Copies of this chain bind each other. A is one copy, B any other.
Amino acid sequence: MSAIQNNVEAASAEYSASFDKGHLALPPAKKYLVVTCMDARIDPARAFGIELGDAHVIRNAGGSAADALRSIVISQQLLATKEIVLVKHTGCGMLTFEHKDAVAVVKNNLGEKAVTELSEKVPNFLAFPDLDKAVVEDVDYLKKSNLVPEDVAISGWVYDVESGKTRRVV
């Protein structure tokens, strides 16, 4: 057992000892979903006010709408969510490189076989150079998709990792 694995077991023992939410239903009670970044500095539940059971929370590198599309369709079509809150954040790693830079790192660290697998499975790292613009573009992507019903409300936000504030962009 690694220190991190031990930590999961310790957290589980503590959390389950006072856990009283075992009755919650599968579909999100407030019928919405959040898409945000995997960044370690974001706690979506507290920062965005999500009570346990309220909303699906989809997280990936950059809070990419395209990368989240499979999950969004499942959330909406099978579990009846009706609204999307998309939140990117200041200081995001995705602002710091371009796709080709990351491919070069993979090639250097993991070799040619990894680059071949990458081209099949991760054709685009989905980095972005402008934060607010990326929020607008991702909201547009979802609004234009035939896979997102027209009556779904979609808002785009930026979370500030230095202040803990979330600002509406679109």
Q: Does A88 contact B (CB under 8 A)?
A: no
Across the interface, do B40 and A57 meet the contact criterion of CB distance under 8 Å?
Answer: yes
Across the interface, do B60 and A32 meet the contact criterion of CB distance under 8 Å?
Answer: no
A5-38 contacts to B (CB < 8 Å)? 5, 7-16, 19, 21-22, 24, 26-30, 32-33, 38
Across the interface, do B60 and A60 meet the contact criterion of CB distance under 8 Å?
Answer: yes
Across the interface, do B163 and A49 meet the contact criterion of CB distance under 8 Å?
Answer: no
| Partner pick for A122 among B8, B32, B70, CB 8 A cutoff | B70
A38 to B166 Cα, complex, angstroms: 21
Copies of the protein in its oligomer: 2
Nearest chain-B residue to A29 (Cβ)?
A: B40
Q: Does A130 contact B (CB under 8 A)?
A: no
Interface range, A side: 35 or more
A158 to B16 Cα, complex, angstroms: 13
Across the interface, do A8 and B40 meet the contact criterion of CB distance under 8 Å?
Answer: no
Q: How far is the CB of A72 from chain B (nearest CB, A)?
A: 9
Q: How far is the CB of A59 from chain B (nearest CB, A)?
A: 4
A77-136 contacts to B (CB < 8 Å)? 77-79, 83, 85, 91, 93-94, 96-97, 102, 105-106, 109-111, 113-114, 116-118, 121-122, 125-126
